[in-house]
Structure 1
Amino acid sequence: MKYRILVVEDQADICTAIQASMTRAGYDIVAVENGEEAWELFQNEEFHVVLTDMMLPGISGEELIKRIRENSDIPIIVISALTDELFQINVYEYKIDDYISKPFSMNLLAYKIEAVIRRTYTETLTEIDHRDVRLIVNNYEVFYLGKLVDLTAKEFELLQTLLLGKGKIYTREELLDIVWGYQYLGDTRTIDMHIKNIRKKLFPELITTIKGVGYRIERN
C-alpha cells in the first residue's frame, strides 16, 4: 500500500524539499502552499497523513487543523519555525499527532511520518532484505549473513535511504538533504566517507558508485 500525504507549506524551497524527499521514501505526496487549497483538496480527495505549517496565507494552519478535526481523525503532523514551548504544548490541544521544529532533517521527518502511520494503519514496511543484508526499518539494526553489524546512526540512515530507493541514483547533495537536513552546510565528501565505512563493514559491491553523479544500490 502506498500512503498518500497532504503537505501544506508556504515556503517554496522547504515544500519542494519535502516533496522530493518523501517521494523518494515511497510516499505519494500532494504539496500545496496555502490553507485554502489544502482544505479544498482534503474535502475531495483521500489522504493518510496531513503535514502542515502553522503560518499559512489565507486559512491559517490552526484553522485548517480545526476544520480537519471536525471531520476526520487522520494523523496530523505540524511543522513550524515557532519554537516557543508553550506554543508547542498548546498546539497539541488541537489533537495533532506530532510536532517538528524547523529546521529539521528529512530523515527525522520520515521517521515521524512512519511512526504515525505505524500507529494508525496496519500495513507498513518493517524490514528490507537485499543480498545477504537485512535492515530493520527505522530501528538502527542491520544484519549481514545473519550477524548484527555495528553501523553509526548516519551510516544506518544512508544505507536505509539507498535501500528504500533501490535502483535510483542519489547525488551527494540529495543524500545530505535527506540524512543531514536541507540546511546542512557541510562538505559532500562526508557522504563519501560514510559510504566507504558502510562498504567496509558490509561488502564493497553493495553500493555502486556512479562516477560524477552519486551512488545507488542495484535492484538485484
Structure 2
Amino acid sequence: MKYKLLVVEDQTDIRTAIQASMTRSGYDVAAAENGEQAWNLFQSEEFHVILTDMMLPGISGEELIKRIRKNSDIPIIVISALTDELFQINVYEYKIDDYISKPFSMNLLAYKIEAVIRRTYTESLMEIEYKDIRLVVNNYEVFYLGGPVDLTAKEFELLQTLLLGKGKIYTREELLDIIWGYHYLGDTRTIDMHIKNIRKKTFPRTRYDN
C-alpha cells in the first residue's frame, strides 16, 4: 500500500525538500503553501498523514488542526521552528501525534512518519532486499546473509536512502541534505567515509584485506 502525505509549509525550500525526500521514500506526497490550500485539499482528497507548520499565512496551523480534528483522527505531525516547551505542550492539546523542530534531518522525519503509520494503520514494516542484504525501512535493522549488521544511525539512513532510490544518482550535497539536514555545513567527504564503512560491514571483510 502506498501511503499519501499532505505537507503544509509556507517556506518553499523546506516544502519542496520534504516533498522530494518523502517521494523518494515511497510516499505519495501532496503539498500546500498555506492553511486554506491545505484545508481544501483535505476536504477533496484522502490522506494518511498530515505534516503541518504552525505559522502559516491565512488559516493558521492551529486553526487548520482544529478544523481537521472536528472531522478526522488522521495522524498529524507538527513541523515548527518554535522550540518553546510550553508551546509544544499546548500543541499536543490539539491531539497531534508528533512534533519535530526545525532544522531537522529528512531521515528523522521519515522515521516519525513511519512510526505514526505503524501505530495507526498496523501494516507490517516494509523491507528492502538487495543481493544478500535485507533492510527494514525506518526500523534501523539491517541483515547480511540473515545475520544482523551493526550500522550507526547515519550509516543506516544513508544505506536506506540509496536502496530506496535504486537507480537514482545522488550528489554528495543531496545526500547531506537528506540525511544530515538542509542546514548541514560539514565536509561532503563524510559521505565517502560512511559508504566505505557500510561496505565493510555489509560484505565479507575478506574483500578488504588486500
TM-score (norm 1): 0.89
- Which runs of 5 or more residues in structure 2 are unaligned? 205-210
Report the counterpart of residue 199 of structure 2 in structure 1. 199
Report the counterpart of residue 208 of structure 2 in structure 1. none
Whole-angstrom CA distance in 1 between matches of 2:138 and 2:16: 24
Aligned length: 204
Report the counterpart of residue 207 of structure 2 in structure 1. none
Could you tell me how far 1:124 is from its partner in structure 2? Answer: 4.5
CA distance 1:166–1:99, shift in 2 (3 Å):
same
Residues 158 and 175 of structure 2 are in contact (CA less than 8 Å); yes or no, is this contact kept in structure 1? yes
Residues 25 and 164 of structure 2 are in contact (CA less than 8 Å); yes or no, is this contact kept in structure 1? yes
Residues 25 and 164 of structure 1 are in contact (CA less than 8 Å); yes or no, is this contact kept in structure 2? yes
Whole-angstrom CA distance in 1 between matches of 2:44 and 2:149: 47
1:7-45 per-position Cα deviation (integer Å, ceiling 9, x unaligned): 000011111110111111111111111001110111111
Whole-angstrom CA distance in 2 between matches of 1:136 and 1:25: 13
Alignment of 1:24-39 (within 5 A): 24-39=24-39
Could you tell me how far 1:127 is from its partner in structure 2? Answer: 2.2
Asked if residue 74 in structure 1 is aligned to residue 67 in structure 2, the reply is no
Report the counterpart of residue 102 of structure 1 in structure 2. 102
Report the counterpart of residue 3 of structure 1 in structure 2. 3
Report the counterpart of residue 87 of structure 2 in structure 1. 87
- Report the 3-state secondary structure (helix = DSSP H, G, I; strand = E; otherwise coil) of the residue aligned with 2:183: coil
1:81-133 per-position Cα deviation (integer Å, ceiling 9, x unaligned): 11110000000010000000111110100000001111111335332222111
TM-score (norm 2): 0.93
Alignment of 1:107-118 (within 5 A): 107-118=107-118
Residues 117 and 124 of structure 1 are in contact (CA less than 8 Å); yes or no, is this contact kept in structure 2? no
Could you tell me how far 1:134 is from its partner in structure 2? Answer: 1.3
Whole-angstrom CA distance in 1 between matches of 2:97 and 2:152: 29
Whole-angstrom CA distance in 2 between matches of 1:16 and 1:37: 16
Could you tell me how far 1:144 is from its partner in structure 2? Answer: 1.1
Whole-angstrom CA distance in 2 between matches of 1:41 and 1:124: 28
Asked if residue 20 in structure 1 is aligned to residue 20 in structure 2, the reply is yes
Residues 7 and 31 of structure 2 are in contact (CA less than 8 Å); yes or no, is this contact kept in structure 1? yes
Asked if residue 156 in structure 1 is aligned to residue 173 in structure 2, the reply is no
1:69-90 per-position Cα deviation (integer Å, ceiling 9, x unaligned): 0000100000001111000000
Could you tell me how far 1:163 is from its partner in structure 2? Answer: 1.4
Could you tell me how far 1:146 is from its partner in structure 2? Answer: 1.9
Residues 34 and 59 of structure 2 are in contact (CA less than 8 Å); yes or no, is this contact kept in structure 1? yes
Whole-angstrom CA distance in 2 between matches of 1:20 and 1:98: 21
Whole-angstrom CA distance in 1 between matches of 2:149 and 2:108: 22
Whole-angstrom CA distance in 1 between matches of 2:143 and 2:50: 34
Could you tell me how far 1:203 is from its partner in structure 2? Answer: 3.1
Worse overlay, 58-67 or 136-145: 136-145
Q: Percent identity?
A: 88
- Report the 3-state secondary structure (helix = DSSP H, G, I; strand = E; otherwise coil) of the residue aligned with 1:50: strand
Could you tell me how far 1:175 is from its partner in structure 2? Answer: 1.1
RMSD: 1.3
- Report the 3-state secondary structure (helix = DSSP H, G, I; strand = E; otherwise coil) of the residue aligned with 1:135: strand
- Report the 3-state secondary structure (helix = DSSP H, G, I; strand = E; otherwise coil) of the residue aligned with 2:100: strand
- Which runs of 5 or more residues in structure 1 are unaligned? 205-220
Amino acid at match of 2:97: D
